[in-house]
Structure 1
Amino acid sequence: MRYWMYRLLASDPGRKRLRTASKVTLSVISSVVVMLIIVLNAGGQITAAIFAGVVGMMGILVVNDDTEKEQKLTTVLLAASSACSLATGSWLSKWGIAADLFLLLVVFLALYLQRFGSRYFSICMIAFMSFYFATLLKVTFAQVPWLFASIATGILFAYFYNFILIKDKPEEVLKRSMGSFHIQANLTLNIVIDIVRDIKLDKQRLANLDRNVKKLGDYARVVSNELGSTDPGGIWPGLSTSQLRLYIFDTAMLMETLSPSIRRLKEHRALENHSIRSSLLLVIQSIREAEVLNREQVHYLENAAASLQSLRQLLRTLKLDKRNEEWLYLIRRIESIANHIIDGAFGLQQSLQRTSSDGATSDPLEKEDTEEDAKNEEEEGMRPTTKKAIQALIAGGLSIVLGHIYSPAHQYWILLSCFVVLLGTETVGRTLVKAVQRSVGTFLGAIAGFIIALYLTGIQDIILLFICVFLAFYLLPISYTLMMFWITMLLALMYDILLGGINEQLMAARVIDTVAGVGLGFAVSALVYPQRTRDKVTTSTVEYLNSLKEYVDNYIDRFREKHSAFNLADHALELDQLLQTLIDDASPLYRGWFGQSGIQQQLTVLTAINFYAKHLVASSTRKSQLNTDEKFEELINHVQLSLTDNIEALSAVIRGEGQAQIVNLEEERRQLERLPEESESSEHEMLNHLRLLHNVHYIWRINESIVYLARQLGAEPKSKG
């Protein structure tokens, strides 16, 4: 129970889902209740209260500008857009073809104008929904003043909850995200402790550990993104963005290291040794107990440092026995990364203590370039927003025609489903996935909504309607299917209230229209300016490899120019994000939506490369000077050039650009390892050389993986002659 309670507490980093769902639900409730009181006392219609709820919901959901000032202006503009669209809808309802053309124009502009900013999409989106509502209820011009009052009510409450009562505060979001990260880290360490204590190899526990490690990686990316726009010094005076990012990186890497290392140690039966097991437990428990951002709990860090020192002493003893060589490196790896965490935690504590004692402030927030390169360069050919707008225009026209033929009572249902399924889907594969998710969610929600609507009446319908609103938008980031389930239930209840009842024919029509709409959206996305999923995966893969090349270059530079690896942690987190984007883009392929694509092997190798790349920083020496000689620098320079060529060759074969050649670096590896034997080296020089070899260990693993994948994709070995 404690485990699941903590999982629940950590499950919403920054409480973003809770805040968004709460704001939407409260805005809807307030708008509906206030407008309901007005119409009941003034002789208006209940439809005005429902429309106020729709506007209150849209006033929060579609506002996505970068700054609060821009968001406030957009919220005000939504009222004008909704009012104009509503008045136009009531006026054009007499001329069906004119209403259809107006709605198509709104659909086109909603997607086309995104190139100029999210505000224009927001304005067009509420215009679409207002027009849709006007046609659904056959709004007459006499009803327009009541609906104008609904717009004012909805926008006022959206503004109130979004910018006054539940105002987003970046510092609070960051603090809560860090809280979720720490909870998840401690949950993961608890599982590790249970595994280490139990001598037996429990595969179920190990699988649970892997799931928790993956979850921690997700939280690390969330916190890293928050740090891109929020100065941690505002919460923990004295801390800089780089310091906190490095700590997050090291903590996540410790968990990623513990999972396979503990598994291998158990397979080698190393943990049956009481001394090893006790020392590892002491280190892990002390790290779990350390409250890194609490300046009053420094003694826990001191305990962690002492336990790590004990583990080092044990390593010196174990090194004397040659039988331990096959698994001893696993403990060294854990010790190395745990040492980075403890050193980084002491650095954080020193910054906090220094600030509290002398009033020093933190380093200024390191500004990140938020502008995409694509925005600064002239794009060749038609812009993606223009292509998507043309797709929506064609699909929308077909949807309206189909709606008038097969569903004249609700002629825009098909259009609504078609329009929504095209939003936010860059590729044909992603459109198909969203289409299926929407269809399944609508089908299940229609069944549940129809059954529930038969047994609930009056206030019960209203209460459940608000519950549906909350659950739909709380679960949206988790599952689009679940979101559509609750939205369809919400619509069933609205139809029950607005139309005075609901029947199976109406809900069946809703499901059929949804399937028809998403089918049209998918067909047009596949036939008109299609963006193939594999092309998008290729682009994402090349982008990842380019970032990897820069990362590896910067890492190797420190052997020749004495650069610090400190800031490479930021780059490693960016690599993690790029890999996750690639996995998301490839999901329609590796999940079998288009049959067996062979993408799974490529993703597996790239995931391994990403793991090795992060270990370059996680396992390497940071503080002590890396002393290299001329021979070492000459060899490592050659390795850098060859590895860069191999990454470029892999990018070329992935893009399908002719025959690429790759080179194996095993000979260079052997030369580096033989350097001390070729010269008379002192013991100190030997130790320094071993440290250098340790720091470049994962370079070979990265190159081996790149060579393997390139060979699998058709590259040929390059002659060294």
Structure 2
Amino acid sequence: MCDRVGVATRWHGARRLAAAVLDRLAAADPGMVRLRYAVRVVLATLIAAGGLALAGLPFPAVMVGAILALNMSTGLREATTREKLASAGLVPVAAAASLTLAALLPKIPVVVDSVFVAVTFVAVWLRRFPNIGFAVGMAGFMSFFAAVFTRLTSALLPVVLVGMVVGVLVAVGLALLLGRESRQHAVRRMFHAFRARLGQQVDQVSRVLEEMDSAGRTGERLDRYTERLREGALMIEAELDRDDQRPAQLDRVRRQLVTIELAAERLALSVRNAVEQGVSRQHRADLLVELRQLRGYLGRDPSRVIAADTREILATVRARRATPVEPDAPAPHRAAMGLRRAVSELVLATIQTRRYLETQAWWTAGDTESERPAPDSGKTESGVEREKSDSELRGTQPELGKPDSERPASTDQAGRERPADQPTRDGGEQPAGDERGGAGHEAERPREPGVDRRRQEEEPPTERLSPSTRQAVQTAVACALAIVASELVSPQRWYWAVITCWVVFIGTSSRGDLLVKGFRRVLGTLLGVLAGMVVALLVAGHPVVVGGLMAVGLFLAFYLVQVSYSMMSFFLTVTLGLLYDLMGMFTPQVFLLRLVETLIGALAGAVAAAVVLPTRTGSAAREEVAELLNGLSEFVGHAEDVLAHGEQLNLIEKSRELDRRFGDLERIVEPLLHRFNPFRDRRDTLSYLVVVLELVLYHARNLATAAETAALAGHPGVTGAMGRIRENLARMAAVASDRGDRDRTQDRTLVVGPSLSSEPGELNPAAKRVLSYLDRFDEASLGLARPLAMTTEVGLRADAERDGRDQAGPSPGSTSAASRRR
């Protein structure tokens, strides 16, 4: 009997460990996107190279086939099926043209190098056509490079073209085969990753509460988990946007995801406030019990969620929301009550979302009968009650206290120094943390900046070039410099410098971005040289082991490319060392030469980016901030259409567009916020701006989830207040897009209006919540005055000016939706 109990206990422990490992893998790679991508790249390269080698084709054909298979796999990762088929037709044409041109050129170094630079220019210029242009340009560049590297002659051209075709077919075939997946399965995997990330955040909240240290490393991880949760929600919504067959169900899923995200964010803010206020030991014990209960609803098995009685949980949420906290109650008590309320709201949001999904046929289709959850039992609430609980939950907001102006300087959520008077979400105490997002933001992907959105009438002619043309000129100049410099060091290994130039310009949008990427490539190469020499010496003379390690190194390089560019460079360098060992060409001098050539390529790219048609990171950041502020102004206009004029608009979708823009801004300003940036004052100002913008977006999401059609129709002052907010945001956008200090003609005054939620009058709870969120949005947006060097004034004079304008015509803030669209 004891043996059976022991076996059962060990089996249960093994299952829990396996579930924890699977959850961790799912959270690290939502939807297994990176895993599938890396597997496809490795398989395409190995199949193409192995098949051509076994067929007895010469080395140039094998190399061209392997290179095209690898590059086609990387270039098609974000393409649709139609784009993959179009690339399959255009890539062979570009590759064949480059191979033929290289084979027929006279073998004069100056001529070959000049044509190589021209090919580089055309290949980068083609990136203006997303996905297809990148794949075609990459194929043309790498084919010409392979032909020059192998000294291709016209006699070998036909067999090399055969290798090219094989490589393209293998890559496209695997992309179509492994890329075929039902949208339902993709969404389910991403949701499981979202659930796992939420579980990690709850675990981190428990650690913060146990250690009572929100400013330590546990708090830093909590910041990263919060951001990763938002990224997971955006990935799910991007996948849902592709499905137009179930708009009603998917819209509800989208709304519930935002509700969970906001509840989780409030939980993180509440635990920080609770720790800083110093909650009692008894409150901590009770809260940890509730957090363990919440963690139980985030497991892989949905049976517990299906059996939960949400009526009881909803009653707890209502009771905690309705229980007043005495103004003179101790701060620790108020903080503990706010945290308990945040926990209960996240419990309810999580259960409602998972239950809704697990009881939908389109979600559970494909499950076996044993895997399918049981239907709702009589213990659960009815559909009407569930809808009512959804409505009750939307728009909840814990009171986290007021900011303490006497607090010393602290750090923001990204670990950046922040003054004591900086606002934080909900007016709560200032959280601390480390660099936002860690290495996860270093995504190596082709990113075409798109249409140049700067005001062309105010730009010099050189700045009116499209981003792809500008970068094509820069890359061509950088490659020319790299060829000249690297051939002076090594006429045989010059190609490493050229490849570095080519790669560092992929996905960069400014010279600061390129400098950071070049530094990461050099760092990864340096570490890879050291590790590669050790590994190559240890496995020398064992070809099977070397081949297996090469496949592992190639897989890890492309699996980690969206996590850390330095790690990708590291594993590629190690793999290259193993390849040279397999070919009998490995020497430590060759590895050191690779490091030198990589440094030359990075320096050539930095010089070209700084001198040739430079795109200043500060200018790009200002324009992105202006775009985001204009988007916020449009969002307020849409909110007015819904709340005051009763129009049917999806404000959650509008707020998500702003979140994606904010993600673009974070990528652009990353070089400016780097710890090596010597301009500390500018770095601190920009850091402050980013944190306040994040706060504004947080309140925008709250407003979007709480908004109900015509909730504020007929309310006095709402139209004028929203017009004032829109005018403030428009002024901030105009100031943000100024080029330096040359243009001081902009109105640099923001108008402060009265609080709408504190005005007397009877309103229903929904309207009160909306007004509260609108006030918080307004207050947070006024916090942007300081980093933008603007001033604020009470709206008495501004109201008089608006009254004067109203006599001549309606202001933008007071017009109807139809008038504004006209």
| Deviation for aligned residue 1:428 | 0.7
Aligned to 1:516: 600
Given that 1:93 and 1:99 are in contact with CA atoms closer than 8 Å, whether structure 2 keeps it comes out as yes
Which of 555, 573, 579 aligns to 2:639? It is 555
Which of 640, 661, 664 aligns to 1:581? It is 664
- Counterpart-to-counterpart distance in 1, 2:665 and 2:119: 32
Given that 1:286 and 1:300 are in contact with CA atoms closer than 8 Å, whether structure 2 keeps it comes out as no
Given that 2:644 and 2:712 are in contact with CA atoms closer than 8 Å, whether structure 1 keeps it comes out as no
Tell whether 2:249 aligns with 1:240.
yes
- Counterpart-to-counterpart distance in 1, 2:358 and 2:115: 61
Tell whether 2:691 aligns with 1:604.
yes
Which of 424, 447, 469 aligns to 2:530? It is 447
Partner of 2:195, secondary structure, is: helix
Shift in alpha-carbon separation, 1:711–1:85, aligned structure 2, 3 A: closer
Which of 268, 271, 275 aligns to 1:259? It is 268
Given that 2:511 and 2:610 are in contact with CA atoms closer than 8 Å, whether structure 1 keeps it comes out as yes
Given that 2:197 and 2:229 are in contact with CA atoms closer than 8 Å, whether structure 1 keeps it comes out as yes
Shift in alpha-carbon separation, 1:339–1:557, aligned structure 2, 3 A: farther
| Normalised TM-score (structure 2) | 0.74
| Normalised TM-score (structure 1) | 0.83
| Deviation for aligned residue 1:645 | 1.8
Provide, for residues 408-455 of structure 1, a one-character-per-residue CA deviation record: whole Å limited to 9, x for no partner: 223433222222222221101111111111111122222322333334
Aligned to 1:20: 37
Provide, for residues 282-314 of structure 1, a one-character-per-residue CA deviation record: whole Å limited to 9, x for no partner: 5983685279997x877445x233222134235
Aligned to 1:323: 329
* Counterpart amino acid of residue 618 in structure 2: R
Which of 737, 742, 746 aligns to 1:655? It is 737
Aligned to 1:488: 573
Aligned to 2:444: none
Tell whether 2:297 aligns with 1:213.
no
Shift in alpha-carbon separation, 1:253–1:281, aligned structure 2, 3 A: farther
Partner of 1:476, secondary structure, is: coil
Aligned to 1:147: 160
Which of 766, 788, 796 aligns to 1:713? It is 788
Aligned length: 677
Q: Which moved more, 1:136-145 or 1:415-424?
A: 136-145
Partner of 1:588, secondary structure, is: coil
Partner of 2:672, secondary structure, is: helix
Partner of 1:487, secondary structure, is: helix
Partner of 2:242, secondary structure, is: coil
* Counterpart amino acid of residue 242 in structure 1: D
- Counterpart-to-counterpart distance in 2, 1:199 and 1:415: 51
Aligned to 1:383: 466
Partner of 1:426, secondary structure, is: coil
Given that 1:665 and 1:700 are in contact with CA atoms closer than 8 Å, whether structure 2 keeps it comes out as no
Q: Which moved more, 1:371-380 or 1:520-529?
A: 371-380
Which of 608, 612, 624 aligns to 1:540? It is 624
Given that 1:81 and 1:123 are in contact with CA atoms closer than 8 Å, whether structure 2 keeps it comes out as yes
Aligned to 1:364: none
Aligned to 1:225: 238
Whichever structure has more helix as a proportion of its residues is 1
Which of 765, 778, 802 aligns to 1:703? It is 778
Aligned to 2:416: none
Shift in alpha-carbon separation, 1:691–1:120, aligned structure 2, 3 A: closer
Structure 2 regions of 5+ residues with no counterpart? 1-16, 366-374, 376-447, 458-463, 798-822
Partner of 1:515, secondary structure, is: helix
Aligned to 1:460: 545
Given that 1:538 and 1:655 are in contact with CA atoms closer than 8 Å, whether structure 2 keeps it comes out as yes
* Counterpart amino acid of residue 10 in structure 1: A
Aligned to 2:259: 250
| Deviation for aligned residue 1:570 | 1.8
Tell whether 2:555 aligns with 1:470.
yes
| Deviation for aligned residue 1:22 | 0.5
Shift in alpha-carbon separation, 1:65–1:603, aligned structure 2, 3 A: closer
* Counterpart amino acid of residue 471 in structure 1: L
* Counterpart amino acid of residue 647 in structure 1: L
| Deviation for aligned residue 1:468 | 1.8
* Counterpart amino acid of residue 656 in structure 2: L
Given that 2:451 and 2:466 are in contact with CA atoms closer than 8 Å, whether structure 1 keeps it comes out as no
Q: CA RMSD in A?
A: 3.7
Shift in alpha-carbon separation, 1:271–1:573, aligned structure 2, 3 A: farther
1:63-74 alignment, distance < 5 Å? 63=76, 66-74=79-87
* Counterpart amino acid of residue 74 in structure 2: L
Tell whether 2:126 aligns with 1:113.
yes
Provide, for residues 263-288 of structure 1, a one-character-per-residue CA deviation record: whole Å limited to 9, x for no partner: 324555667566x9759955983685
Aligned to 1:363: none
* Counterpart amino acid of residue 153 in structure 1: V
- Counterpart-to-counterpart distance in 1, 2:480 and 2:364: 63
Tell whether 2:230 aligns with 1:188.
no
* Counterpart amino acid of residue 577 in structure 2: A
Shift in alpha-carbon separation, 1:8–1:106, aligned structure 2, 3 A: same
Given that 2:202 and 2:291 are in contact with CA atoms closer than 8 Å, whether structure 1 keeps it comes out as no
Shift in alpha-carbon separation, 1:549–1:280, aligned structure 2, 3 A: farther
Given that 2:478 and 2:605 are in contact with CA atoms closer than 8 Å, whether structure 1 keeps it comes out as yes
- Counterpart-to-counterpart distance in 2, 1:353 and 1:409: 59
Structure 1 regions of 5+ residues with no counterpart? 358-370, 677-684
Aligned to 2:590: 506
Tell whether 2:513 aligns with 1:430.
yes
| Deviation for aligned residue 1:540 | 1.0
Shift in alpha-carbon separation, 1:541–1:311, aligned structure 2, 3 A: same
| Deviation for aligned residue 1:125 | 1.9
Given that 1:186 and 1:288 are in contact with CA atoms closer than 8 Å, whether structure 2 keeps it comes out as no
- Counterpart-to-counterpart distance in 2, 1:139 and 1:409: 15
Partner of 1:408, secondary structure, is: coil
Aligned to 1:402: 485
- Counterpart-to-counterpart distance in 1, 2:587 and 2:730: 61
- Counterpart-to-counterpart distance in 2, 1:592 and 1:463: 39
1:48-127 alignment, distance < 5 Å? 48-63=61-76, 66-92=79-105, 94-127=107-140
Which of 278, 285, 289 aligns to 2:293? It is 285
- Counterpart-to-counterpart distance in 2, 1:79 and 1:553: 49
Which of 302, 313, 327 aligns to 1:307? It is 313
Shift in alpha-carbon separation, 1:709–1:621, aligned structure 2, 3 A: closer
1:682-697 alignment, distance < 5 Å? 685=762, 688=763, 692-697=767-772
